[in-house]
Chains A and B, each alone.
Chain A
Amino acid sequence: MEILAILIPVSLFLGGIGLAAFFWAMKTKQFDDPEGDAQRILTKEFDDKPRQ
């Protein structure tokens, strides 16, 4: 049962990373234009260096 002392914190930590990622996505408006973002990856623009 000692293994629980490791497994539970690990599972909570991993879940926490997911939650933090979700918070970041909401704060930086990643869901504002889902359709446009899906199309944008198809263009060759800014493939070599990111947009300034």
Chain B
Amino acid sequence: MTTVEHFAEGRAPVSACPACAVVPSAERIAAMRAERDGRIMLSLPLAHGAACIATVESALSAVPGVRSARVNLTRKRVSVEAAPGVTPAQLIAVLAGEGHEAHELDPGLLSSTETDRQGRDLLMRLGVAFFSMMNVMLLSVAVWSGAEDATRDLFHWISAAIALPTVVFAGQPFFKSAWASLRAGRLGMDVPISLALILASSISVYETWMSGHHAYFDAAVMLAFFLLLGRYLDHRTRAIARSAAEELAALEVPRAIVLLDGVEVETAISLVVAGDTVLVRPGARMPVDGVVLTGASEVDRSLLTGESLPVQAQPGTVVSAGEVNLTGPLTLRVLAAGKESSLHQMADLVAVAEGAKTRYTSLADRAAGLYSPLVHILSFSAFGYWMWATGGDVRYAINISAAVLIITCPCALGLAVPAVITSASGKLFRKGLLIKHGTALERLAEVDTVVFDKTGTLTMGVPEPVALADHPPQVLALAAALAAGSSHPLARALAEGAAALGIEAVAVTDLREVPGYGIEGAWQGTRIRLGRADWCGATAIAQTATYLAVGGQTHAFAFTDRPRPGASEAVTALQAVGLRIELLSGDAEAPVRDLALRLGITDWRAGVLPAEKAARVAELSAAGRKVLMVGDGLNDTAALVAAHVSISPATALDAARVASDIVLLGQDMAPIADAVRIGRQSARRMVENFVISGGYNVIAVPLALVGLATPLAAALAMSLSSITVSINAMRLK
């Protein structure tokens, strides 16, 4: 206890603001209450249909203090403008009364999806490019079908009037990124694109001025349109994933109950400072790092360490943010809150490591790396050759080199990857997988080893009694009677298991739960207990278990962790496609071995520390293996970041979800096998798309080099290759 005190004293000044100490608590209470003003966001996961909108909006508007309520059915949310007195809990209760499930969302975390500025900006440019493309094409068709002299010139001038402003406006995303990559000394994909746009426009203006036959205004706007389409698809896929990921994060509203002068105030964690007293109710997650002041309970540390067995907590025990309080209420003195808490520091570490993950060069980047220099060389050598061959005809030579740049049609290249990713992400989203990272699918395709975490990943983190029927019915009836009086996970599982066997609980009087130990009662004059081994006078067995003491006799009920639905299907399917599977768990040996046997995993390790997990993943990577890491806890985050690609379930800690590339939204694990299959397919489609767009170039570029390419040929090559590439992307199954 003394060391803990010392630790607390030493830590407090770091995070406590000096002003907080002098602010009287009445004012702090007011400040904490005022924080929740204004807009309330609720998630409506099951909302559908017009009737739902009407009932939700009218029910919420009828609540006194609510100014307006608006349902967004696409995002399945309702946003409420309300007076300060209205609490989310109150609104959730009102909706529950109407038969609608609702959850509170943290509006602060959702702000970026509410105003998708970048998406709207791209869409606006796309719309403008589309309008110009259609109008310029109309005029170009007239020219191609034989408009002559003054008419042709007039049409070219009108095209110029439409196309030039469009290229300036719609081409900005490309110009900006081309400029950025040039300044960084790289030759990105956007450099030839920008060059093609600028060269095509300026050469066409010159040709029009000189009453020339060919103008490439249509090619310039078409190029802008198709490339913007690829950009927009890419952006939208990412925005959808980001919005879903943010929604998961926003569902965990960071709230804490602070005790100020004996008054309970519910407030945002950001307002809690070290030295405050915080109340944590049973079933709630610890909001802060702290030391227990009063109360006795058990805490579930599985998300932090992977241990499936709860740990006892009593005054003096140090707890970390993220652990779950199981049985009794605890009051904590805060050691570190918010950004200082161990949970947050871990998340920060992950954010740093995230940056390192970008070292993977995507297929698109590799293609651009090959493509950009080649196009520039071709175009410049065409210019040089025709300068020499025509004896210095600059106009002709520039025309040819512009035609080469335009006809190499990077538009198909620009669509090749986004079209596949959009199609694959959509398919996987419907199966319950959220692709968070753009290159996750390509990396998934390369995977040859899968490393699983146990608790919370392959298992649900929910205990299940083992061989319950082996116990005498009389004993079970007693155990069930005691278990019914507790909300401890083991007790609940025992009560459910007994009920499933058709055992009726006997009447037990004087039920009393002793937080942190178990539950006791009186039956036929004798005292009976259900709980920890030492408290019941039993000898502990190697497995997770709870113990029943009746008179002098004790009985042990062993538990195992229930495997996640689809876990064995996923493991079998992954083994069938030739992947090596490993199980690394922080839990004790017996439960890990049982699960490995049950799922048919031969490589398993128990009692693995977080750093060892990451080290094992790094060791596999160093041996040339591409590792897929699947995990949910804080102890997995380092390994998730170190792996080639990573998946975490939606129930995982925020830090783990942030660290992973793919989030499994449902409970079922089987989609992981689908993800690997679709990932491999997508990588194949991407390569095919590059081959297709390359193929068009093989035909078109020689034509352009010898000066036979016309604007009509450029328009045909561009649109045909873009359409073929999109259709190929949709072949994913």
Closest to B123 in A: A26
Q: Does B349 interact with chain A (Cβ within 8 Å)?
A: no
Contact flags B122-135 to A (C-beta < 8 A → 1, else 0): 01100110010011
Q: Are A36 and B71 within 8 A (Cβ)?
A: yes
In-complex Cβ contact of B127 among A4, A11, A22 (8 A): A22
Chain A residues lying within 8 Å of B135, measured Cβ to Cβ, are 11-12, 15
Which of B48-56, B227-235, B390-398, B529-537 faces chain A? B48-56
Chain A residues lying within 8 Å of B53, measured Cβ to Cβ, are 36, 39-40, 43
How many residues of chain B have a CB within 8 Å of chain A?
23
Q: Does B111 interact with chain A (Cβ within 8 Å)?
A: no
Chain B residues lying within 8 Å of A43, measured Cβ to Cβ, are 50-51, 53-54
Q: Are A36 and B74 within 8 A (Cβ)?
A: yes
The distance in angstroms between the C-alpha atoms of A27 and B49, with both chains bound, is 26
Contact flags B32-54 to A (C-beta < 8 A → 1, else 0): 00000000000000000111011
Q: Does A8 interact with chain B (Cβ within 8 Å)?
A: yes
Q: Does B527 interact with chain A (Cβ within 8 Å)?
A: no
Chain A residues lying within 8 Å of B72, measured Cβ to Cβ, are 32-33, 36
In-complex Cβ contact of A8 among B51, B54, B127, B158 (8 A): B158
Contact flags B106-141 to A (C-beta < 8 A → 1, else 0): 000000000000001001100110010011001000
In-complex Cβ contact of A35 among B51, B54, B73, B154 (8 A): B73
Q: State which residues 9-52 of A face B: CB under 8 Å.
A: 11-12, 15, 18-19, 22-23, 26, 31-36, 39-40, 42-43, 45
Closest to A31 in B: B123
In-complex Cβ contact of B74 among A15, A18, A33 (8 A): A33
Q: Are B158 and A39 within 8 A (Cβ)?
A: no
Q: Does B562 interact with chain A (Cβ within 8 Å)?
A: no
Q: Are B73 and A36 within 8 A (Cβ)?
A: yes
Q: Does A6 interact with chain B (Cβ within 8 Å)?
A: no
Q: How far is the CB of A3 from chain B (nearest CB, A)?
A: 12
Q: Are B73 and A33 within 8 A (Cβ)?
A: yes
Chain B residues lying within 8 Å of A18, measured Cβ to Cβ, are 131
Query: Provided the pairs A1-B151, A36-B53, A36-B71 are in contact, do residues A19 and B138 lie with their beta carbons within 8 angstroms?
Result: no
The distance in angstroms between the C-alpha atoms of A19 and B158, with both chains bound, is 17
The distance in angstroms between the C-alpha atoms of A42 and B154, with both chains bound, is 50
Q: Does B75 interact with chain A (Cβ within 8 Å)?
A: yes
Count of A-B residue pairs with CB < 8 Å: 51
Query: Provided the pairs A8-B158, A32-B74, A35-B73 are in contact, do residues A40 and B123 lie with their beta carbons within 8 angstroms?
Result: no
In-complex Cβ contact of A19 among B49, B54, B75, B131 (8 A): B131
Q: How far is the CB of B216 from chain A (nearest CB, A)?
A: 20
Chain B residues lying within 8 Å of A39, measured Cβ to Cβ, are 49-50, 53, 73
The distance in angstroms between the C-alpha atoms of A15 and B134, with both chains bound, is 9
- Main secondary structure, interface of A, reads helix
Chain B residues lying within 8 Å of A35, measured Cβ to Cβ, are 73-74
Q: How far is the CB of B179 from chain A (nearest CB, A)?
A: 26
The distance in angstroms between the C-alpha atoms of A18 and B135, with both chains bound, is 12
Q: How far is the CB of A9 from chain B (nearest CB, A)?
A: 10
Q: How far is the CB of A43 from chain B (nearest CB, A)?
A: 5
Q: Are A45 and B128 within 8 A (Cβ)?
A: no
Q: Are B54 and A45 within 8 A (Cβ)?
A: yes
Contact flags B377-407 to A (C-beta < 8 A → 1, else 0): 0000000000000000000000000000000
The distance in angstroms between the C-alpha atoms of A18 and B138, with both chains bound, is 16
Contact flags B72-88 to A (C-beta < 8 A → 1, else 0): 11110000000000000
The distance in angstroms between the C-alpha atoms of A1 and B142, with both chains bound, is 13
The distance in angstroms between the C-alpha atoms of A46 and B54, with both chains bound, is 11
Chain B residues lying within 8 Å of A23, measured Cβ to Cβ, are 124, 127
Q: Are A11 and B138 within 8 A (Cβ)?
A: yes
The distance in angstroms between the C-alpha atoms of A39 and B53, with both chains bound, is 8
Chain A residues lying within 8 Å of B73, measured Cβ to Cβ, are 33, 35-36, 39
Contact flags B12-34 to A (C-beta < 8 A → 1, else 0): 00000000000000000000000
Chain B residues lying within 8 Å of A19, measured Cβ to Cβ, are 127-128, 131
Q: Are B151 and A42 within 8 A (Cβ)?
A: no
Task: With a 10 A CB-CB cut-off, give which of B53, B151, B154 has the most chain A CB atoms.
Answer: B53
Query: Provided the pairs A11-B138, A33-B72, A35-B73 are in contact, do residues A40 and B128 lie with their beta carbons within 8 angstroms?
Result: no
Q: Are B50 and A42 within 8 A (Cβ)?
A: yes
Q: State which residues 716-730 of B face A: CB under 8 Å.
A: none
Task: With a 10 A CB-CB cut-off, give which of B50, B51, B131 has the most chain A CB atoms.
Answer: B50
Query: Provided the pairs A18-B131, A34-B74 are in contact, do residues A4 and B50 lie with their beta carbons within 8 angstroms?
Result: no
Chain A residues lying within 8 Å of B151, measured Cβ to Cβ, are 1, 4
Q: Are B134 and A40 within 8 A (Cβ)?
A: no
The distance in angstroms between the C-alpha atoms of A33 and B79, with both chains bound, is 13
The distance in angstroms between the C-alpha atoms of A25 and B50, with both chains bound, is 23
The distance in angstroms between the C-alpha atoms of A8 and B154, with both chains bound, is 11
Chain A residues lying within 8 Å of B50, measured Cβ to Cβ, are 39-40, 42-43
Closest to A36 in B: B73
Chain A residues lying within 8 Å of B138, measured Cβ to Cβ, are 11
Q: Are A33 and B75 within 8 A (Cβ)?
A: yes
Task: With a 10 A CB-CB cut-off, give which of A18, A36, A40, A45 has the most chain B CB atoms.
Answer: A36
Q: How far is the CB of A16 from chain B (nearest CB, A)?
A: 8
Q: How far is the CB of A12 from chain B (nearest CB, A)?
A: 7
Q: How far is the CB of B561 from chain A (nearest CB, A)?
A: 39
The distance in angstroms between the C-alpha atoms of A26 and B158, with both chains bound, is 27
Query: Provided the pairs A42-B50, A45-B54 are in contact, do residues A26 and B120 lie with their beta carbons within 8 angstroms?
Result: yes
Closest to A42 in B: B50
The distance in angstroms between the C-alpha atoms of A11 and B128, with both chains bound, is 16
Q: How far is the CB of B225 from chain A (nearest CB, A)?
A: 14
Chain A residues lying within 8 Å of B49, measured Cβ to Cβ, are 39
Q: Name 7 A/B residue pairs within 8 A (Cβ), A-sorted.
A: A4-B151, A11-B135, A19-B128, A19-B131, A33-B73, A36-B72, A43-B54
The 8 closest A-B pairs by CB, nearest first: A36-B73, A42-B50, A39-B50, A35-B74, A35-B73, A33-B72, A33-B74, A19-B131
**Other contacts beyond A12-B135, A32-B74, A39-B50: 8, CB < 8 A:** A15-B131, A19-B131, A23-B124, A36-B71, A36-B72, A39-B73, A40-B50, A40-B53
